[in-house]
Every structure is written in C-alpha cells, then in structure tokens.
Amino acid sequence: MSPKALLLADTMLKQDEILSELLSNTVKQREALKGGRLSDLQSLMSELRHVSVRCQAIETKRSRVAGDIANELGCEPVVSEIASSLKAQSAEEAALVEESAKKMMGTVTKLKMEMSILARLMDESRALNEMMISEWRKLSQKAIGAGAMGTFDTKI
C-alpha cells in the first residue's frame, strides 16, 4: 500500500474526528443557547477556539498531502480524481481514500446543518433581546414621565 495514500486516508479520518468534536460542541452550544445558559456558552466558545485551531491545522495537512499525491499521480488534488488515478494502481487504496472522504463529508454535512440551526437561533435570540431592551426603555421613559406629572412615582 502506498504510504501517501494511507497518509491521506488517515489524515481525512483524523479530520473527521476533529470535525466530530466541532459538531458536538455546536450541538452543545445550541442546547445552551436554547436553555439560556450563558456560562456554558462562554466555556463552549473557549473550547470552540481550541478545536478550530486543530481543524485549521489538519485541513492544512490534508491539503498538502492531497497536493503531494496528486502531483505524483498527475491529477488535480480532488478526492474523486485521486481515487480514480489510484484505481489504476490499487483498487484497495482507492476504496480506502474514497471511504475516508465519504465519512468526513458526512460529518461536514451534519456540521453545516447544526451551524445553520445555531445561526438562526442566535439571530432569533438577538432579535428578542433587542425587542425586550426597546420595550424596557419605553416603559422606563413612561415611568419617568408619569412621575414628573404626579400620577405615577417610581420612588419608594
């Protein structure tokens, strides 16, 4: 088995593992946001920063390895083309690369869906907070104005 094909497959599986951590963190963020648990959100955001750094590092490695193997095979650094070129040498290597990519892309799809849900929840939360602040400001202005007229006093 080609060491570079094996390295590419292993790198994609490691990337899938890190993306799964990111997915788990995103689900936890969504649940914390729904539950209004600010302290949980803060710690999850800190964890997210660490996982994101690892995601960037493994993506850089995957891109480099894919580029190296694509140069050797004389194709573009795209999984489908790499796998197609590998089939001429070893169907087993091609299948390993394709399966690793398929697993990683499944996790990417789930992550995109969760991030979309989280973004919508954050937008809704922001809109609700802005509306509540606006209403509180109106109420406080009315209370202050009414107290000046002698009909309602907020002082105790």
Map out the domains of the chain as residue ranges: 3-110
The Cα–Cα gap between 60 and 27 comes to 25
Quote the DSSP letter at residue 110. Answer: H
User: Alpha-carbon dihedral of residues 133, 137, 140, 146, nearest 10 degrees?
Assistant: -150
Q: What is the pLDDT along the chain (156 residues), one digit of tens a residue?
A: 578 899 999 999 999 999 999 999 999 998 998 888 888 988 999 999 999 999 999 999 999 999 999 999 999 999 999 999 999 889 999 999 999 999 999 999 999 999 999 889 888 888 888 899 888 888 888 777 655 555 555 555
- Which tokens hold the place of 57? 């590092």
Does the global pTM surpass 0.85? no
